[in-house]
Chain A
């Protein structure tokens, strides 16, 4: 069985600061992919970043980076230099093995304050 756990229901960060959103996962598959999505108040799901289980380097996309610690089964999202527009729900998701469905965590609500 696959499971994604996001333990932080809500987070606050000041503008221009960095913030880390936690995600742990559980799977018995050796091949899997980890994703982060952003869901602003308007409701759409915006893809942010992807990490493959065999990727040796941590993924980075602009201000987003994924701190991938395979032995600990964690895939934390780091947002550097937070902006007010980063205020949103953030979901960690996993796709494992030969499956195609994404399994999502419950999300973390991030509020960026001035």
Chain B
């Protein structure tokens, strides 16, 4: 059973370019969460999606960032016109459902974005 997959693992973009980060959840998981980890910080929640729906984007910056989880295909985190402050590790996690179990959130290996 393959785990959560993220690609690319490393991404270098120049200021002003667009970054697209992909996340394929574990098989059977229909809930995806994106987190951002700035250098020497813990992970910060960005957005929670179910198939074709954004459930909570309270952690997303208001501009330049967007996320989607289409019916078919991976979840995409898109950052437009990247700036140096966007350099971070972006983690995706998935879960089978939101329930009282609370702990079934499995993380992918992360994408390290470097903006030059």
Interface residues of A, Cβ cutoff 8 Å to B: 4, 31-33, 35, 37, 42-47, 50, 52, 91, 93, 95, 100-107
Chain A residues touching B, majority SS: strand
Give me the 9 closest cross-chain CB pairs, A-B, nearest first. Answer: A104-B42, A101-B45, A33-B102, A45-B107, A50-B103, A104-B43, A44-B109, A106-B42, A100-B98
What is the size, in residues, of chain B's interface with A at 8 Å between Cβ atoms? Answer: 28
Contact in complex: A101, B59 (CB < 8 Å): yes
Q: How far is the CB of B2 from chain A (nearest CB, A)?
A: 14
B26 contacts across to A, CB distance below 8 A: none
Query: Which residues of chain B (67-113) have a CB below 8 Å from chain A?
Result: 89, 91, 93, 95, 98, 100, 102-103, 105-110, 112
Contact in complex: A35, B103 (CB < 8 Å): yes
